Amino acid sequence: MTKYLESVDNLNFDCKKRHIGQNMQKFSANMFNILRKFLRILSQSPLFSLRNLNCPQTLVSIICALSMLITTMAVAKTHTKTQQEESLDHIVATVNDEIITQSELNQAIQNARMQMTQNQMAVPAEKTLKAQALQQLIDRKLQLQLAKQAGVTISNAELESVLNNIAKNNDITLKEMYAKIKAEGLSVENYKSNIHDELVIQKLEQQEIASRITVTPQEIREFMRTQHKSLPITASTDVNISYHLEDILIPLTETATPEETSKIQKLADFVLNELRHGKTPHDLSVTAPTIASNDLGWLKLDELPSAFTQYVSTMKIHDVAGPIKTGNGLHIIQLADIRKSGDETAISKEQAQQMVFQKKMGEALENWMSKLRSQAFIVTPD
């Protein structure tokens, strides 16, 4: 029996020599202690004495096999755990003094795939999706780091307000929204943290980029010009055409002296020239308080003042005409836009301004991010 116990001890020592971790060493040691006790009890029993057994070699073989199984289980379990930990927690990128782990990247890929599916967008190949998700995580880290340096924060009240609005826009309560998030296998805390970070980034972009972007009237006009055909549309082509006119009035009474009339005529010529070189009626009404700028809105040809009709019917968008003399003074008109009834493609000045702003914002944001990346310490896999 002594030699059998020595065999078990040798196997136990062999297990300890393997680098299986402290917890698994305890596991194997406990199993070998149980095996040793079993052998001692077996050796002391007259009924199950080894010498009374017909096949002692078989019993020994079973015991040795059990010993080897304990060792193999301990090593295999440790190796499996180590491989799982490495696949989840190894570093995939370093951004300045912060890291991005494989588990973060996996979550970002899952979120991106889910969002694309919900929006009925084509999901790119796995390699492309992974590269896009990693770049987004890197950019996010850079922006949040800069926001922290700049002291950009979001209060709990701001966060709760946005969360309530999200729920409201989806016609559900906040409690129902959280339940839905959990049902999709996501963490509510992670969701709230992501929304918080998005708000911080939005505030940072507003502070660093949006507040410095300007859209000039000339840019708006040029954008609106590209949205329409350059050929003039006359009143005779379609009775459903409407015209958006802006009118500048330079008051002139019928009792004005020749000197006053000449002075008003020179001012009218000046205004006409300025409009043709990019100034707006609003600009001119500020610099020359004696003139009045009026937005006539959308009118059909037969709704316009008769003095304007002959000019408007041959004008192109943004064309200027005048001076037109009427009973109350000299008028200079500018055709802001033309549209047909039911034409949903026509855009307002406000829409054009927003579109130009968004275009400039996108370009500025990309340039800003490129600068942040170039100034940062970033390490990614080859």
pLDDT tens column, 326-365: 877 888 888 888 877 655 455 677 888 888 998 899 899 9
- Give the residue range(s) of CATH 3.10.50.40 domains in the chain: 228-343
Question: According to the model, what pLDDT value does residue 152 have?
Answer: 93
Asked if residues 264 and 252 have their Cβ atoms less than 8 Å apart, the reply is yes
Tally of CB atoms within 10 A around 188: 12
Question: According to the model, what pLDDT value does residue 39 have?
Answer: 56
Question: According to the model, what pLDDT value does residue 101 have?
Answer: 93
Compute the mean pLDDT over every residue in the chain, rounded to the nearest whole number. Answer: 76
- Give the residue range(s) of CATH 1.10.4030.10 domains in the chain: 93-212+374-379
Q: Which CATH class is domain 93-212+374-379?
A: mainly alpha
CA–CA separation, 353 and 159 (whole Å): 29
CA–CA separation, 282 and 315 (whole Å): 21
**Domain 228-343 in CATH 3.10.50.40:** yes
pLDDT tens column, 290-320: 677 788 888 888 788 888 888 887 888 888 8
At a CB cut-off of 8 Å and minimum separation 6, what does 264 contact? Answer: 250, 251, 252, 256, 329, 330
More confident residue, 260 or 289: 260
Question: According to the model, what pLDDT value does residue 237 have?
Answer: 43
pTM over 0.85: no
| Token digits of residue 357 | 């702003």
Asked if residues 145 and 182 have their Cβ atoms less than 8 Å apart, the reply is no
The model's confidence at residue 8, banded by pLDDT at 50, 70 and 90, is very low
The model's confidence at residue 285, banded by pLDDT at 50, 70 and 90, is low
pLDDT tens column, 44-102: 555 444 444 444 454 545 555 555 555 455 445 444 444 444 445 689 999 998 999 99
The model's confidence at residue 231, banded by pLDDT at 50, 70 and 90, is very low
45-75 exposure pattern, b = at least 16 Cβ within 10 A, e = fewer: eeeeeeeeeeeeeebbeebeebbeebbeebb
CA–CA separation, 316 and 377 (whole Å): 54
Tell me which range, 209-223, 224-238, 252-266, is most confidently predicted by mean pLDDT: 209-223
Question: According to the model, what pLDDT value does residue 236 have?
Answer: 42
Q: How many residues does the chain have?
A: 382
